[in-house]
Amino acid sequence: MDIKTVGIVGAGQMGNGIAHVFALAGYEVTLNDLSADALSRALSEIDKNLSRQASRGKISEEEKTAALARISTTTVLTDIGPSDLIVEAATERETVKTAIFEDLQPHLKPNTILTSNTSSISITRLASRTDRPEKFMGLHFMNPVPVMQLVELIRGIATDEDTYKTMLALVEKIGKTAASAEDFPAFIVNRILMPMINEAVYTLYEGVGNVRSIDESMKLGANHPMGPLELADFIGLDTCLAIMNVLHDGLADTKYRPCPLLTKYVEAGWLGRKTQRGFYDYRGETPVPTR
């Protein structure tokens, strides 16, 4: 299957990063979002990130200009229907993702491949709600997309070999490395990462350590570039909680029970960096622990 055009649903942090890497790799990209403001912010962010790459000599000014010229935007979801590949990067709620694929279905080409950037939801279940489960895969990028090398490639139970091979080759073409994962809750990275973050929240909840001591311990004692609570704020505490709930519900094991303190922060609307407060308060010049 020859992929030349890519439609991306969702212009948030993940969507704009995915648009960035596809455009830089030479693909014609159409970025969709319900909000025209979100699309405008996404283009500004892509421009800023491409400029950073150019200033560091990773790409030329010509490559930056050409990449930006390959990105168009639309607030009309069905405009991306004729794309060769569609990447859904909307919010991590299954009902939202399912509705997007159902709305797109009448407008797709027969050979269009559908993918989801979900970090935890069943690919098999999402695929079963479409007219082409054999052409459906999980395409899970890491955040921030332009920087992180890994892409998890998840086959649903019905995904055919041609689709898998096409996506494997595509990941290589955009300069990333694919890790093939089976379709089990949270796949590979989040199956390992999220329980670690959840355990760090339990360590805080039980008073074993405070925010700073927990993060410093993992940075200096385990050589992690970011502490687990700092990382949770970067990811978004709502996303962390959603993935823990998927693990807990999908695997029916109490070791995946979300920490009540994580739930409490989400209930307060303290979701991390994106809301200026989470395990750290980001409203001042330097982040300050909230516990």
**Which residues form the catalytic set?**
119, 140, 152, 190
d(CA 99, CA 104): 9
d(CA 121, CA 96): 12
Strand 136-141 to 288-289 pairing: unpaired
Residue 180's nearest CA partner among 139, 152, 142, 149 is 152
> 84's torsion region: left (phi>0), alpha (psi -120 to 50) or beta?
alpha
Which are the contacts of 164, defined by CB distance < 8 A and separation ≥ 6?
Answer: 137, 153, 155
Residue 198 contacts residue 240 (beta carbons within 8 Å): yes
